[in-house]
Amino acid sequence: MTAHPIAFLDLKAQQARLGPDLRARIEAVLAHCQFILGPEVGELETQLAQFCGAAHCVAVSSGTDALQIALMAEGIGPGDAVFLPAFTYTATAEVALVLGATPVFVDIDARTFQIDPEALEARIAAVKAAGKLRPRALIGVDLFGQPADWPRLAAIAARHELFTLDDCAQSFGARLGGAPLGRAAHATAISFFPSKPLGGYGDGGALFTESAERAALYRSLRSHGEGTTRYEVLRTGMNGRLDTLQAAVLLAKLAHFPAEIKARQHLAGLYDRALAGLVETPARVPESESAWAVYAILLADGAKREAAQAALRAANIASAIYYPKPLHHQPAYRAHHDGTPLPVSEAVAARILALPIHPDLSDDDVARVAATLSTALAPPAR
pLDDT tens per residue, range 81-120: 999 999 999 999 999 999 999 999 999 999 999 999 999 9
Please give the CATH number for the structural domain made up of 11-254.
3.40.640.10
List the one residue out of 158, 160, 94, 173 whose CA is nearest residue 128.
Answer: 160
Question: What average pLDDT does the structure give for the chain?
Answer: 97
Q: What is the pLDDT of residue 75?
A: 98
> What's the rounded mean pLDDT across residues 155-173?
98
Domain boundaries, the chain: 11-254, 257-377
The whole-angstrom separation of Cα 7 and Cα 17 is 16
pLDDT of 315 over the 70 cut: yes
What are the DSSP calls for 111-171, one per residue?
TT-SB-HHHHHHHHHHHHHH-SSEEEEEEEE-GGGPPP-HHHHHHHHHHTT-EEEEE-TTT
Residue 94: its H or E element: helix 90-98
> What's the rounded mean pLDDT across residues 326-332?
97
Phi-psi region of 53 (alpha: psi -120 to 50; beta: other; left: phi over 0): left
Question: What percentage of the chain exceeds 70 in pLDDT?
Answer: 99
The whole-angstrom separation of Cα 296 and Cα 57 is 30
The whole-angstrom separation of Cα 79 and Cα 246 is 37
List the one residue out of 285, 323, 327 whose CA is nearest residue 83.
Answer: 327
The tens digit of pLDDT for each residue in 225-249 reads: 999 888 999 999 999 999 999 999 9
Coarse DSSP helix, strand, coil percentages of the chain, rounded to the nearest 5 percent: 45, 20, 40
The tens digit of pLDDT for each residue in 122-133 reads: 999 999 999 999
pLDDT of 141 over the 90 cut: yes
pLDDT of 162 over the 90 cut: yes
Q: 11-254 with 257-377: one CATH topology? A: no
The tens digit of pLDDT for each residue in 271-288 reads: 999 999 999 999 999 999
Q: What is the pLDDT of residue 378?
A: 87
Q: What is the pLDDT of residue 3?
A: 84
pLDDT of 381 over the 70 cut: no
What are the DSSP calls for 12-33, one per residue?
HHHHHHHHHHHHHHHHHHHHH-
| φ, ψ of residue 137 in degrees (nearest 5) | -150, 155
The whole-angstrom separation of Cα 59 and Cα 243 is 9
Q: What is the pLDDT of residue 2?
A: 67
> How many Cα atoms are found within 13 Å in the side-chain-facing hemisphere of 52?
32
The fourth-level CATH superfamily of domain 257-377 is Aspartate Aminotransferase, domain 1 (3.90.1150.10)
Virtual torsion, Cα 345, 351, 354, 355, nearest 10 deg: -160
Q: Give yes or no for a contact between 180 and 156, defined as CB atoms under 8 angstroms apart.
A: no
Name the band, by pLDDT with cuts 50, 70 and 90, for residue 379. Answer: confident
The whole-angstrom separation of Cα 141 and Cα 169 is 8
Residues in contact with 48: Cβ distance below 8 Å, sequence separation at least 6, in sequence order? 54, 57, 59, 206, 208, 254
Give the predicted TM-score (pTM) of the model. 0.97
The whole-angstrom separation of Cα 120 and Cα 108 is 9
Q: What is the pLDDT of residue 60?
A: 98
pLDDT of 382 over the 80 cut: no
pLDDT of 380 over the 80 cut: no
